[in-house]
């Protein structure tokens, strides 16, 4: 009786060798894959991409640099008895972000807050979107009335449509002026 195999069949050795080789190969692949992922994360950190991605996430969640502004906006509207509802936000792909709210849940009364990367970009984008880049403007057509207030890199837009165009106008413009004054 052969004692070197200790009860194992000599036919099992090739399978054991193949299994060990496969395990070793998988371990190496996992190690290379993990280090590749780590390298990718390191590149993001050193290039500043990770910071930019984090800032965009923070802004879209109402935190970070714009968070205080948006919280103050909500507080100012609450003081006027107006609820900002259905909060939506979108990154513009150029370092800016837009927040959109329905006043008291009404689709006829919409407030948008555009926060651009700088005042030059604000001027260009407002001209593209609304056909007007002035700091104060009122645009009216058969569909509704849009009031715009801007300062620096921020534009605030109120659009009212339907038969109730003037319901919130005075309060909204007071809040806009208050918020833009706080930018100093």
Q: Does the domain at residues 62-181 carry the CATH identifier 2.40.50?
A: no
Could you tell me the pTM of the whole model? 0.65
pLDDT in tens, 4-62: 555 555 555 667 777 888 788 777 766 666 555 566 665 555 555 655 666 555 554 54
Determine how many CB atoms are found less than 10 A away from the CB of residue 12: 11
CB of 158 within 8 A of CB of 111?
A: yes
Do residues 151 and 135 touch, judged by C-beta distance below 8 A?
A: yes
């Amino acid at each position: 009786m052969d004692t070197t195999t200790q009860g194992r069949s000599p036919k099992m050795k090739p399978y054991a060798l193949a299994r060990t080789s496969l395990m070793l190969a998988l371990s190496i692949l996992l190690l290379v894959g993990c280090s590749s992922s780590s390298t990718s994360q390191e590149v993001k950190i050193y290039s500043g991409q990770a910071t930019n991605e984090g800032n965009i996430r923070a802004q879209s969640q109402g935190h970070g640099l714009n968070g205080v502004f948006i919280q103050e906006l909500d507080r100012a509207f609450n003081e006027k008895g107006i609820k900002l509802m259905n909060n939506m936000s979108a990154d513009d792909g150029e370092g800016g972000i837009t927040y959109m709210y329905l006043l008291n849940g009404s689709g006829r009364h919409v407030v948008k807050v555009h926060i651009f990367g700088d005042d030059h970009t604000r001027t260009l984008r407002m001209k593209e979107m609304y056909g007007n880049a002035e700091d104060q403007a009122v645009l009216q057509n058969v569909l509704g009335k849009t009031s715009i207030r801007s300062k620096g890199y921020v534009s605030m837009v109120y659009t009212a449509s339907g038969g109730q165009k003037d319901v919130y106008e005075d309060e909204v413009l007071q809040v806009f002026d208050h918020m833009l004054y706080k930018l100093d």
